[in-house]
Amino acid sequence: MLMPFVNKLTSFILLAVLSMTLQSYTKRDILQHTADLQKVESTVVLNQKWVPYPAYADREGWNAFLGDYRQQLIEDGESCLDYRWRYIKATDYIEYERTGNRSIADNAFSANVTALNKLFLAELAEGKGRFIDDIIDGVYYFSEMTSWVSPAHIGPYQASKRSLPDTSWHVIDLASGDLSAVMAWIYYYLKAEMDKVTPTVSQRLYKEVKARTLDAYMGEHPFWWQAKNAGEGTLVNNWNVWCNANVLQCFFLLENDPERLAEAVYTTMVSVDQFLNYVKDDGACEEGPSYWGHAAGKLYDYLKMLSMGTAGKIDIFHQPIVRNLGEYIVRSYVGDGWVVNFADASAKGGGEAGFVYRFGKDTGSELMTGYAAYMEKLNPQRKINVNRDMFRLLQSFLYHKELETVAANFRHPAYTWYAGTEFCYMTNDCLFFAAKGGYNDESHNHNDTGTFNLYVDNTPVFIDAGVGTYTGKTFGRDRYTIWTMQSDYHNLPRINGFQQRYGKRYRSANVKFDKNKNTFSLDIGKAYPQEGNINSWVRTYALKKKGLHITDRFDISNPDVANVVHFMTWGEARIINKGVIDISIKGKTAELVYDAEVFTASIETVKLDDRRLSNVWGSEIHRICLTANGKTARGEYKFNIQIK
């Protein structure tokens, strides 16, 4: 039975297009104020003369450009000679309707694009034509595909609303945009070489990218991520800058009609302005560090390409908001590969050093460049990770030698306060504390208003689990049936029997940060449903030298159910004394002290059978449940986390 699952096909639209926000839009229009269409027409560089990389035939240039990476790239390409292109069956697309499994088609597609990129880079590195036939096979394989779009994204655009692509019209999503950009680079560099075999290949390549991306983008049916007519209440997330960055590459690489090119470039500027209007001045990424490279990072790619393609005449890297967006990844880095993770973000990451360096250099951020050098010294990038992002790969080669000369300089700021997004970080000699306010309708939202993470000597102890493998449920109407999305599985209370709810009105109030007292407080009562009769629940965090104090002051009308306060921990949790729970992980030990006269404690083991979670935390995490011994209308709870 397929039809019960058809609603899943509108999953991204449900949580993206129809998602609303509060106080999320400031009409800055920075790019449009920097250049109008007339200026764009006078500044765009034609005939790909903006490309800063060696010509295909410049062997000495490529040898110097790739340096130590040259041999690795050739070997990566050799591993893909006679590559068997993974065939994506019709039933692989339909499987998304049947079970919500998007990985079957997505993984095969991504593997094919990566193989094509490895072959392409190997040919650029070697320049002997040895990889051309396999590249032709890849180009023709993709040209024969009905669509380059994920089955999770195509349904809402088709009359059938089904996941199997039809031929009615072309859709641009993240995957199709990535491939289009790769194909455009192949056309630019290898058209003449492929034409020696047969001109049919390059002709077909150009035709497909033109139809699927250039014409589709400028067509009369806008995509939701273009954010046309956006305003207060419109979500504009990483899709906007990610897709626009790919589209801009394709136009700069393939379009040489000056009027059409200028019109297209200006259209992308109007669209990307909507992302810059949506994000807060503070620069925080509400989706978390895992998505920084696709949000702020793709904005950087777009702006860099825009600057290169206009000979530096359209450049907004001096804007404070752009620098703030870049510095988020540095300020969210805890240490030893751990980052502050809210929403769907993973707790591991930190950004690729070379990319952070380029971003920091262009925005004049010494915080970013020093951090990038620090990361590079910790983990020198001896091997390049070839993926489907061709522009970033080329840029990494352009700057990697320069990074080696930069002095490493990184130390956590004592605090970071993102007033617009309501993220708070505080640090001392052994602790890194992070908490959030906000609302329960953020991009990649979890119902987590008021939650916190605590790290001891860079090791996460009180945690946010993150998100499991994406399925149809992840972005569908059943999202909040997934345990990782629920407030009961964050460091938050269940109040009068209720969890937090999803929606724009479920949010924090009276948020306060005091850098002198190292305190962060907020009222989370409105993040819970009205039927909970919660007048207020003010939580205050106070970071101490060797611990964290948490105070909950609450006011509930006619409580029916005892409150339960939850704590999620990575380490094994054990009740060792009355009112004391010991948490130990990786040689770090903390004690959670509570009033045993007020609460009865229990500890649950949460098994992690999803690889996306277990790759971070291992086979299990733990949930501490402190259940109040009575139903109290007004009162105060105190919890003390002590580091031993």
Render pLDDT for 616-640 as a digit per residue (tens, 0 to 9). 999 999 999 999 999 999 999 999 9
Q: What is the 3-state secondary structure (H, E, C) of 452-491?
A: EEEEECCEEEECCCCCCCCCCCCCCCCHHHCHHHCHHHCC
CA–CA separation, 165 and 435 (whole Å): 42
Q: 489 and 621 in contact (C-beta within 8 Å)?
A: no
* Least confident window among 198-212, 269-283, 379-393, 583-597: 379-393
- How much is the pLDDT for 12? 40
Residue 5 clears pLDDT 50, i.e. is over it: no
Of 21-30, 205-214, 357-366, 540-549, minimum mean pLDDT range:
21-30
pLDDT over threshold 50, residue 4? no
Q: What per-residue confidence (pLDDT) applies to 18?
A: 34
Q: Which of 232, 237, 84, 109 is nearest to 165 (CA)?
A: 109
Give the whole-number percent of the chain exceeding pLDDT 90.
Answer: 83
% of the chain at pLDDT higher than 70: 96
**pLDDT band at residue 216 under the 50/70/90 scheme:** very high
Whether residue 255 has pLDDT greater than 70: yes
Which pLDDT belongs to residue 13? 38
- What pLDDT is stored for residue 302 in this prediction? 98
More confident of the two residues 168 and 341: 341
| pLDDT tens column, 269-292 | 999 999 999 999 999 988 888 889
What is the structure's pLDDT at 288? 86
Position 28 pLDDT exceeds 50: yes
pLDDT tens-digit readout, 576-624: 989 999 999 988 899 999 999 999 999 999 999 999 999 999 999 999 9
> In 279-389, where does DSSP find H-type helix?
296-309, 320-331, 353-363, 366-378
The residue among 93, 184, 194 whose CA lies nearest residue 146 is 93
Among candidate residues 372, 351, 352, the one with its CA nearest the CA of residue 361: 372
The pLDDT-based confidence of 103 (bands split at 50, 70, 90) is very high
Residue 16 has pLDDT above 60, yes or no: no
Q: What is the Cα–Cα distance from 517 to 95, expressed in whole angstroms?
A: 54
**Every domain of the chain and the residues it spans:** 1-229+237-255, 415-643
Q: Residue 21: its pLDDT value, please?
A: 37
415-643 carries CATH number 2.70.98.70: yes
Band (pLDDT 50/70/90 cuts) for residue 15 is very low
Number of helices (H), then strands (E), in the chain:
20, 21
Closest listed residue to residue 557, CA positions, set 586, 537, 577 = 537
For 455-511, what is each residue's pLDDT tens digit?
Answer: 999 999 999 999 999 888 888 889 999 999 999 999 999 999 999 999 999 999 999
Q: Cα 401–53–300 angle (5° rounding)?
A: 75
* Rounded Cα gap, residues 518 and 124, in angstroms: 54
Tell me the mean pLDDT in the region 326-348: 94
Give the pLDDT score at 443: 83
Round to whole Å and give the CA distance between 373 and 367. 10
Q: How many beta carbons lie within 10 A of that of residue 258, not counting itself?
A: 12
Task: For residue 524, give the nearest of 552, 559, 558, 560 by alpha carbon.
Answer: 552
Task: Give the whole-angstrom CA distance, residue 625 versus residue 601.
Answer: 6
Q: Name the band, by pLDDT with cuts 50, 70 and 90, for residue 24.
A: low
pLDDT band with cut points at 50, 70 and 90 for residue 144:
very high
Give the pLDDT of residue 432.
Answer: 97
Categorise residue 67: left if φ over 0, alpha if ψ from -120 to 50, beta otherwise. left
- Look over the chain and give the mean of its residue pLDDT values, rounded to a whole number: 93
Checking if the pLDDT of 124 tops 70, the result is yes
Q: Average pLDDT of 373-384? A: 85
Spacing of C-alpha 250 from chain mean position: 23
Residue 117: phi, psi to the nearest 5?
-65, -40
Mean pLDDT score, 63-80: 96
The pLDDT tens digits for 516-538 are 999 999 999 999 999 999 999 99
pLDDT at 7: 43
Asked if 428 and 550 count as a contact pair (C-beta separation under 8 A), the reply is: no
Which is more confidently placed, 19 or 287? 287
Contact in structure between 178 and 117 (CB atoms under 8 Å): no
The structure's pTM equals: 0.92
| Residue 82: CB atoms within 10 Å | 7
pLDDT given at position 2: 43
Distance of CA 33 to the CA centre of its chain: 28
- Looking only at the bridges linking them, the beta strands covering 439-440 and 423-427 are unpaired
Highest mean pLDDT among 39-43, 349-353, 404-408: 39-43
